Amino acid sequence: ESAIRPGEAGVVYFFAPWCFYCKTSIDNLDDLVDSGAVAWGTAVALDYESAAEVAEFVADTGISLPVLMGDGRTAAGWSVRGFPTYYVIDAEGRIHSRSVGYSTKLGMRWRAWRAR
């Protein structure tokens, strides 16, 4: 199954396992999906040293959504220059908004709501 679901709004969240703000905000992504604010969410690991480092981050944060392994090409393709970076994707598959840095649950929910 694809991480992005056409016809439904969602969020792609880019993180680095060493990033403090990623650790403190990634649960907002789970909450967005669990609350129904968006239909799907996907986290993408970047700037990591090993898969074990990413697995430890996932275990420590308890995120339950899909986590993909990205690389430098992924970061360049999505213009990720800081962490966390997240994109809200609308139901038609277009990028609705982009945000860099910590965002509150309310901030993420508001951006997701506008993409519906």
pLDDT tens for 9-39 read 899 999 999 999 999 999 888 888 888 888 8
* CA 99 distance to own-chain centroid: 10
Q: Please check the confidence at residue 2 and state whether its pLDDT lies above 70.
A: no
Rounded CA separation 89/5 (Å) = 10
**What is the predicted pLDDT for the residue at 35?**
87
**What is the predicted pLDDT for the residue at 112?**
75
Cβ-based neighbour number of residue 104 at 10 Å: 10
Higher pLDDT, 105 or 3: 105
Omega within 30 of 0 (cis) for the link into 84: yes
Q: Per-residue confidence at 1, pLDDT binned at 50, 70, 90?
A: very low
Digit-coded pLDDT (tens) for 38-97 = 889 999 999 999 999 999 999 999 999 999 999 999 999 999 999 999 999 988 888 988
Cβ-based neighbour number of residue 69 at 10 Å: 11
